[in-house]
Structure 1
């Protein structure tokens, strides 16, 4: 099945540095998203998605391991573990593809030819074609979900394609008191290009 991303998926990350290794670390990560309608509903039959009990929506849920890094080849890359909540009146409130212990783990690689720089953001396409997808955990109707989505699905049978936008703010921009102290000390805020390089860190 194919699911077009029709709603923004927003990730907020607070980053810093490990005091012992001086490596970039995540202090805080959160994901926000809205439910997206699955074309052709729960059965995959054209025209049935709007019928009572047959409509289906999906919503991404953050599990962990969000990283921005640079590959040995110098490409921007990102990892993230997520699970996908399925919303349907018959499936109940605890139906997911992927779990906290066995999530859908993406290792997204940036397409260098798609990189765009804006005044306060960078944009690029991020892709992964090597991840696997586990069977669902949807109780009585789990077999139907797995049949509809072709699960479990091994590596090589799946693809994720995102249009990513990344922007960054320093602590001095977020907190006026820090900005005042920085100005008095003569320091200046880093440029976005420097921040982006810092967020992606070195090769892993």
Structure 2
């Protein structure tokens, strides 16, 4: 049975973290939209569980193309894309929702310029990494991240957060309720900027999350944690950190994927 565009939009919007009350509020952008859209590679969609019925599953690709990410004393403007691929669906008997992670790709960004312009030995870079916990419960996109901190003197495993103590984001378009000193912010409801393929443009936000201490920094896997914590202002309690992710997102039912 052919799935209507309206039903696809509703399903895709739900998968892209919109609250149920907003499912009917997807606005269409002008046909002559000037948006330069990213490529959406659906060949990267994850395999479904053996017991999953493809009729009730779809693959989602969210590309964060801009925004800001503030972690303690570190604040960066997102200039390189962050791409998340995942599948979500439900059991047609129990209606239990399920999510399957596919991939997470993010480029490193410069945190501290090197001395005298050196881009290698003294410069410090950071790169977000997926750390589990992906789901779309509660009308939000929930995922855990760590941030790899890269510098030859910090070793190859230095990170902000860890698999056991990650940065836990709950990204949505609704108004946040952070502890002070942060104040409430809101995302932007999605608009349709393309119908072939279907592409939504939205902004998702969270400024109520905490950022843990550094982990395994230094050639001895820990001796330099204090240095990263001092520089980055870690740990950073909830109310001092912000994620504003401007996204393009697309989706396809698994019945349309080869």
TM-score (ref. length: structure 2): 0.58
| Partner of residue 150 from structure 1, selected from 233, 236, 246 | 233
Instruction: Supply the distance in 2 between the matched residues of 1:108 and 1:27 (Cα, whole angstroms).
Output: 18
User: Judging changes above 3 Å, is the alpha-carbon distance between structure 1 residues 158 and 91 closer, same or farther for their aligned structure 2 residues?
Assistant: same
- 2:132 pairs with 1:64: yes
- 2:177 pairs with 1:99: no
Instruction: Supply the distance in 2 between the matched residues of 1:148 and 1:98 (Cα, whole angstroms).
Output: 15
Pairing 1:41-56 to 2, within 5 Å after superposition: 41=113, 50=118, 53-56=121-124
TM-score (ref. length: structure 1): 0.73
1:139-171 superposed Cα distances (whole Å, 9 cap, x missing partner): 222111111110001011111111122110112
Instruction: Supply the distance in 2 between the matched residues of 1:136 and 1:12 (Cα, whole angstroms).
Output: 27
Q: Name the SS for the 1:67 alignment partner.
A: coil
Instruction: Supply the distance in 1 between the matched residues of 2:102 and 2:168 (Cα, whole angstroms).
Output: 16
Number of the residue aligned with 2:248? 165
The answer to whether the 8 Å contact 1:132/1:153 transfers is: yes
Instruction: Supply the distance in 1 between the matched residues of 2:117 and 2:169 (Cα, whole angstroms).
Output: 28
Q: Name the SS for the 2:75 alignment partner.
A: coil
Number of the residue aligned with 1:117? 192
Instruction: Supply the distance in 2 between the matched residues of 1:24 and 1:30 (Cα, whole angstroms).
Output: 19
The answer to whether the 8 Å contact 2:113/2:122 transfers is: yes
User: Judging changes above 3 Å, is the alpha-carbon distance between structure 1 residues 146 and 36 closer, same or farther for their aligned structure 2 residues?
Assistant: same
Number of the residue aligned with 1:134? 212
| CA displacement at 1:51 relative to structure 2 | 5.6
Structure scoring higher RCO (CA < 8 A, sep ≥ 6) equals: 2
Instruction: Supply the distance in 2 between the matched residues of 1:7 and 1:51 (Cα, whole angstroms).
Output: 18
| CA displacement at 1:112 relative to structure 2 | 5.6
- Any stretches of 5+ residues in structure 2 without a counterpart? 1-73, 174-185
User: Judging changes above 3 Å, is the alpha-carbon distance between structure 1 residues 141 and 108 closer, same or farther for their aligned structure 2 residues?
Assistant: same
Instruction: Supply the distance in 2 between the matched residues of 1:50 and 1:6 (Cα, whole angstroms).
Output: 21
| CA displacement at 1:53 relative to structure 2 | 2.2
User: Judging changes above 3 Å, is the alpha-carbon distance between structure 1 residues 103 and 11 closer, same or farther for their aligned structure 2 residues?
Assistant: same
The answer to whether the 8 Å contact 1:48/1:55 transfers is: no
| CA displacement at 1:85 relative to structure 2 | 0.5
The answer to whether the 8 Å contact 1:49/1:56 transfers is: no
The size of the alignment, in residue pairs, is 165
